[in-house]
Amino acid sequence: ASFLLLCFRTSLVASLILGLLLQPPLTQLSIVTQPNIVLLMADDLGIGDVGCYGNDSIRTPNIDGLAKEGVKLTQHIAAAPLCTPSRAAFLTGRYPLRSGMDAINNYRVIFWNGGSGGLPPNETTFAKILQQQGYSTGLIGKWHQGVNCESRNDHCHHPLNHGFDYFYGMPFTLISDCLPTETPEMDRAFRRKLWLSTQMIGLVTLTAALGRLTGLILVRWKMVTCLVGLSLLFFISWFSSYGFVRYWNCIMMRNHEVTEQPMVTDRTTSLILRESISFIERNKHKPFLLFVSFLHSHTPLLTTEKFLGRSSHGLYGDNVEEMDWMVGQVLDAIDKEGLKNTTLVYFASDHGGWLERQEGRRQLGGWNGKYRGGKAMGGWEGGIRVPGIFRWPGVLPAGTVIDEPTSLMDIYPTVVHLAGGVLPQDRVIDGRDLMPLLRGTVEHSEHEFLFHYCGIHLHAVRWHQKDSGAIWKAHYVTPVFHPLGAGACYDTGVCPCFGEGVTHHDPPLLFDLSRDPSEAKPLSADTEPHFDPVIRKIGRAIEEHRRTLTPVPEQLSLYNIVWKPWLQPCCGTFPFCWCDREGDN
Q: What are the catalytic residues?
A: 83, 144
**CA distance linking residue 323 with residue 558, whole number of Å:** 34
Q: At what angle do helices 314-336 and 268-282 cross, to 10 degrees?
A: 20
What long-range pairs does 280-287 form, CB within 8 A, spacing at least 24? Answer: 280/38, 280/330, 280/333, 280/334, 280/337, 280/339, 281/333, 281/337, 282/136, 283/136, 283/138, 284/337, 284/339, 286/134, 286/135, 286/136, 287/34, 287/35, 287/36, 287/133, 287/134, 287/135, 287/136, 287/419
The amino acid at 482: H
Measured in Å, how far apart are the chain's first and last C-alpha atoms?
79
Long-range contacts of 511-516 (CB under 8 A, 24+ apart): 511/472, 511/473, 511/475, 512/470, 512/471, 512/472, 512/473, 513/75, 513/381, 513/462, 513/471, 513/472, 513/473, 514/469, 514/470, 514/471
Q: Which of 350, 259, 264 is nearest to 304 (CA)?
A: 264
CA separation (Å) from 231 to 190, 201, 245? 18, 6, 21
Q: What is the DSSP string of 509-520?
A: EEEETTT-TT--
Distance CA 205, CA 230 (A): 9
Assess contact for 157 and 147: CB atoms under 8 A: yes
